[in-house]
Amino acid sequence: MFSKILNHSLVLSIVMLCVSACSSSSSDSSASDQGNRPPSLSGSPPAYAMLDLIYSFTPGSGDPDGNMLSYSVSNMPAWASFDTATGKLTGTPSMQHVGIHGDIAISVSDGQATTDLPTFSIEVIAGATGSLALSWAPPTQSADGSPLDDLAGYRIRWGTQTGDHPNLLELNNPGISSYVIDNLAPGNYFLLVFAVDTSNNESGASNEADGTVQ
Which pLDDT score is estimated for 10?
46
Task: Give the C-alpha separation, 82 to 87, whole Å.
Answer: 7
pLDDT in tens, 157-197: 999 999 999 999 999 999 999 999 999 999 999 999 999 99
Task: Give the C-alpha separation, 211 to 34, whole Å.
Answer: 44
Taking residues 38-67, what's their average pLDDT? 96
Which pLDDT score is estimated for 7?
41
Going along the chain from its start, the domains and CATH numbers come out as 12-19+128-213 (2.60.40.10), 28-125 (2.60.40.10)
Contact yes or no for 31/113 (Cβ under 8 A) = yes
Contact yes or no for 59/42 (Cβ under 8 A) = yes
Contact yes or no for 33/111 (Cβ under 8 A) = no
Nearest to 78 by CA among 88, 93, 100: 93
End-to-end, the C-alpha distance of the chain in Å comes to: 44
Alpha-carbon dihedral sign for residues 190, 196, 202, 206:
negative
pLDDT in tens, 92-126: 999 999 999 999 999 999 999 999 999 999 999 99
